[in-house]
Amino acid sequence: MAAARMPARKRDWSWRSQAFRGVIYQIVAIALIAAGVWFLAHNTLENMRVRGIQSGFGFLTQPAGFDIGEVMFKYDALDPYWKAFLVGVANTLRVAIVGIVLTTILGMLLGVGRFSRNAIVRGFCYGYVELFRNVPVLLQLLMWYLVFTEVLPPSDAAWSIGGFLFVSKGGVQFPVPEWGVGQGLAAIGAFAGLLLALWYRHRKLQEFEKSGQLRDTFWPSVAMIFGGALVGWLVGGAPTEWNVPKQADVMVEGGVSMTPEFMAVLLGLVLYTAAFVAEVVRAGIASVPLGQTEAAFSLGLTRGKTMRLVVLPQALRVIIPPMTNQYLNLTKNSSLAVAIGYPDVVSIANTAINQTGRAVECIALIMLVYLTTSLSTSALMNWYNKRAAIKER
């Protein structure tokens, strides 16, 4: 006999329904918030009009009229304000992206080093964390800026490392390949190798789930990436031209230069945030039951493989959420770069405010930039958190 179907529940639209009341309350709350935002915006614009203060974003199309000392693409003082803001956003993203990568590497090494059997390594990692996380980040930025501008030699007597790397008050200069077809094909080959490595790793993990036999995927993946880059380089004619910096009479010429302001911001943020990341990694590793490590040792795994294949994958579910907070803090702390003259979006906005008087608009643009970068970072890390989560069978 077929099972009797449950009658479909009809939605109760009366006030006695808790679900209906919940919908009404949410609509009322949204309406009140929208009314509050409109009231504040209307009052602000009206007060500015009464006082003769100009408003609106029309100034973004006007010529900026000021130069920017550090740009990632072509910019001129006659370009409009929106392009100046774009330069500031690019400089902010440059610090944030490079800083997140370096912070992750350094923080992971320090966090894992807290569990080293070598007392010197453990003591160094502990001392690093306690030193850098207890000194305000602004003081660290100022300290590194003073090191680059006061301690290092002038540009006409730069310290040379191997005749290729130069360090001076003018910043850091190092060689870079002359970009051409060969370098472009090498980059495409490396990307293709990365996709192949991801596919290879996915296949080996599927085989591991079926057979229980785990094969190392790290070195084959590295070989695929470098192999793809090598093939692209050879197809492109195997170019060997490099733009090498050289010491001139007044300054170092050639190569790629990283200014003292950029280096100070990058070092300060990386060294400061890595101390917190190290504690996040340490807490995640400590959360893995000791029995997991003992079981791995009983199977004959080395300490390195146990950490990489057993402990860290389980610790990720504890590490990733607070790690996201540290990435957000690093991105937002980059706004302190204005204190040492690095032309990020805050510095550009300050200059625009002084010239145009559009304080509300410029501050709104700053808020929009940091809100967008923070939400994008959170979305990416949430996606990775779902991928890394341990799924119960």
Give 367-381 pLDDT, tens digit per residue: 999 999 999 999 999
Domain-embedded: residue 64: no
**Pair (124, 204) in one structural domain:** no
**pLDDT at position 90, please?**
93
Position 1 confidence tier, pLDDT thresholds 50, 70, 90: very low
**pLDDT by residue (tens digit) across 40-53?**
888 877 777 777 67
For residues 202 and 287, membership in a common domain is answered with: no
345 and 282 in one domain? yes
> What is residue 391's predicted lDDT score, i.e. its pLDDT?
61
Is there a contact between 174 and 372 (Cβ–Cβ < 8 Å)? no
270 and 372 both lie in a single domain: yes
9, two tokens: 């529940």
CA distance 294 to 52: 74
Query: Distance between CA 49 and CA 142 in Å, rounded?
Result: 40
For residue 108, being part of any structural domain is answered with yes
Q: Are 189 and 226 in contact (CB under 8 A)?
A: no
Does any domain span residue 303?
Answer: yes
188 shares a domain with 142: no
Number of domains, the chain: 2
pLDDT reading at 175 higher than 60? yes
Average pLDDT on 198-216 reads 77
For the chain, list the strands marked E by DSSP: 159-161, 165-168, 171-174, 176-177, 242-243, 246-247, 252-253, 256-258
pLDDT, tens digit, for every residue of 270-281? 999 999 999 999
Pick 270 or 204 by higher pLDDT: 270
Token representation of residue 184: 């472009």
CB burial class (10 A; 0-12, 13-18, 19+) of residue 48? middle
Considering 238, 268, 287, which residue would you say is the last residue of a domain? 238
Per the structure, the complete domain to which residue 211 belongs is given by 179-238
**3-class secondary-structure state, position 54:** coil
For residue 170, name the pLDDT band (cuts at 50, 70, 90): confident
Burial tier of 232 (Cβ tally within 10 Å: 0-12, 13-18, 19+): buried
Q: What is the mean pLDDT of residues 250-278?
A: 89
10: in domain: no
Percent of the chain with pLDDT over 90: 34
**Does 306 reside within a domain?**
yes
* Shared-domain flag, residues 320 and 213: no
The DSSP symbol for 337 reads G
Q: Do 266 and 381 fall into the same domain?
A: yes
Residue pair 190/229 in contact by the 8 Å Cβ criterion = yes
Say yes or no: 262 and 358 in one domain.
Answer: yes
Asked if residue 163 is part of any domain, the answer here is: no
The three state secondary structure string of 117-164 is CCHHHHHHHHHHHHHHCCCCHHHHHHHHHHHHHHHCCCHHHCEEECCC
pLDDT for res 9? 57
Query: Quick one: pLDDT band at residue 28, thresholds 50, 70, 90?
Result: very high
Lowest mean pLDDT: which of 62-76, 304-318, 355-369? 304-318
If you average pLDDT over every residue of the chain, what do you get? 85
Domain membership of residue 267 (yes or no) is: yes
Whether 143 and 263 share a structural domain: yes
Among 5-19, 288-302, 329-343, top mean pLDDT goes to 329-343
* The pLDDT of residue 159 is above 90: no
Last residue of a domain, one of 190, 208, 238: 238
Which tokens in the block code for residue 209?
A: 């789930």
Q: Which of 209, 238, 267 is the last residue of a domain?
A: 238
Q: What is the CATH number of the domain that holds 106?
A: 1.10.3720.10
- Among the residue ranges 98-107, 162-171, 382-391, the one predicted with the least confidence is 382-391
Same domain, 282 and 137: yes
pLDDT of 171 above 70:
yes
Looking at the fold, whether 310 and 234 belong to one and the same domain comes out as no
Q: Whose CA is closest to 190, among 182, 179, 201?
A: 182
Share of residues in the chain with pLDDT > 70 (%): 94
Q: Do 91 and 141 belong to one domain? A: yes
> What's the pLDDT at 150?
87
Mean pLDDT across the stretch 287-314? Answer: 82
User: Does some domain include residue 25?
Assistant: no
